[in-house]
Amino acid sequence: MNKIDIKLGIIVALIFLAGFLLNTLQEKNQEIKRLNLENEQLLTELDDALKAKSPKPKKIVKKRKKIAYQGTIGLVIDDFGYRNDAVSDGFLDFKTPMTYAVIPGHRYSSLMGEEIKKAGFEIIIHMPMESHIKTKGEEDFIIMTSQPDDEIISRIKNAFKQIPQAIGMNNHQGSKATEDRRVMTAIGNVLKDKTKYFLDSRTTKNTVAEETMSLLGVSTARRKVFLDNSENINDINNQVDELAKSAKKNGVAIGIGHVKKNTLAVLKKRIPELQKKGYKFRFVSSLLH
């Protein structure tokens, strides 16, 4: 065998060996890929099994603290009609149910009736009535004990013509008139015919207004607290406290304030506070008997 044959034999042997090694390497790579796929499948199945067994995390829901009901308050604001300014506008900006009482016979009486209705509040007539102390104003509307029934009836009807949005009435002053059963009967008969209610502002301890209305079948109620006989802010706050105490004790209490700057400031602060404590505010029409 010559040298050329030997070299050719070696080359052939090397080619065969390289082919064998390449084929072996390809088979190994395929085996590794197969094993990797099997491992991935096993890991996926294991992960799915663990997820199925493990409990889902519970959704955390924050419970709102339930506010205990404390009582119901009816707020009446008297003396609309005198003014049309930032103070009266401030009361119209409230979102709380309140009853606004408009005095007939003044420059802004009709306008306030329209604006209060538009703002979504309840309107009643703040009817001028004779007091034991001599007063002036509202001469065409004031109810006097010396007037005959037909004059009283006429004045009540004229008041409702001027403020047609009103669904009821309370007395402006009237310590003498509300002690007179004849006078209150004449007023009550008109209210009964018109299906209106009467709120006794109780400007005298000897009032017969509420009692007379009940006897006539007119829906009625009484004022419990005056908020602002004193215009001092601390005094008004104290009266609001008294109103809240009465509502808590009796279930319902009606307070009367006036279209005044300090009354507005106190109520802006105190109404949200009382609501957070569990007090409800309602129109007077829903608190009648």
Residue type, 234: N
Taking the C-alpha atoms of residue 180 and residue 186, their distance in angstroms, rounded to an integer, is 10
Would the pLDDT of 183 be above 90?
yes
3-state SS of 121-171 is CEEEEEEEECCCCCCCCCCCCCECCCCCHHHHHHHHHHHHHHCCCCCEEEE
Would the pLDDT of 77 be above 90?
yes
pLDDT of residue 19: 55
Question: Distance from CA of residue 171 to its chain's centroid?
Answer: 27
Q: What mean pLDDT, rounded, does the chain reach?
A: 89
Taking the C-alpha atoms of residue 260 and residue 46, their distance in angstroms, rounded to an integer, is 76
Scanning 54-129, the segments in alpha helix (DSSP H) are 86-92, 109-119
Rounded to an integer, the average pLDDT of 74-98 is 98
User: Backbone phi, then psi, for 266, in 5-degree steps?
Assistant: -65, -45
> 287: closest CA among 179, 209, 198, 216?
198
> 289: closest CA among 202, 227, 200?
200
Burial of 252 (0-12, 13-18, 19+ CB in 10 A): middle
8 A C-beta contact, residue 166 and residue 194: no
pLDDT of residue 268: 98
Which of the residue ranges 9-13, 42-46, 283-287 has the most confident prediction, judged by mean pLDDT? 283-287
Would the pLDDT of 288 be above 60?
yes
Would the pLDDT of 221 be above 70?
yes
Neighbours of 105 (CB within 10 A): 17
Would the pLDDT of 44 be above 70?
no
Taking the C-alpha atoms of residue 149 and residue 147, their distance in angstroms, rounded to an integer, is 7
pLDDT of residue 136: 87
Could you give the dihedral angle defined by the CA atoms of residues 77, 139, 130 and 177, in that order, rounded to the nearest 10 degrees? -90
Would the pLDDT of 270 be above 80?
yes
The two tokens of residue 54 are: 């493990």
Integer distance in angstroms from the first to the last C-alpha of the chain? 136
Would the pLDDT of 54 be above 90?
no
Rounded to an integer, the average pLDDT of 174-197 is 98
Residue 112: which pLDDT band, with cuts at 50, 70 and 90? very high
Taking the C-alpha atoms of residue 180 and residue 218, their distance in angstroms, rounded to an integer, is 17
Question: Distance from CA of residue 289 to its chain's centroid?
Answer: 24
pLDDT of residue 8: 57
Span of 18-27, 96-105, 145-154 with lowest mean pLDDT: 18-27
Return the percentage of the chain with pLDDT > 70, whole number: 78
Residue 127: which pLDDT band, with cuts at 50, 70 and 90? very high
Would the pLDDT of 157 be above 60?
yes
Taking the C-alpha atoms of residue 267 and residue 12, their distance in angstroms, rounded to an integer, is 109
Would the pLDDT of 48 be above 60?
yes
Taking the C-alpha atoms of residue 44 and residue 42, their distance in angstroms, rounded to an integer, is 5
pLDDT of residue 208: 98
**189-208 residue pLDDT tens:** 999 999 999 999 999 999 99
pLDDT of residue 107: 96
Would the pLDDT of 35 be above 60?
no
Taking the C-alpha atoms of residue 64 and residue 67, their distance in angstroms, rounded to an integer, is 9
pLDDT of residue 66: 81
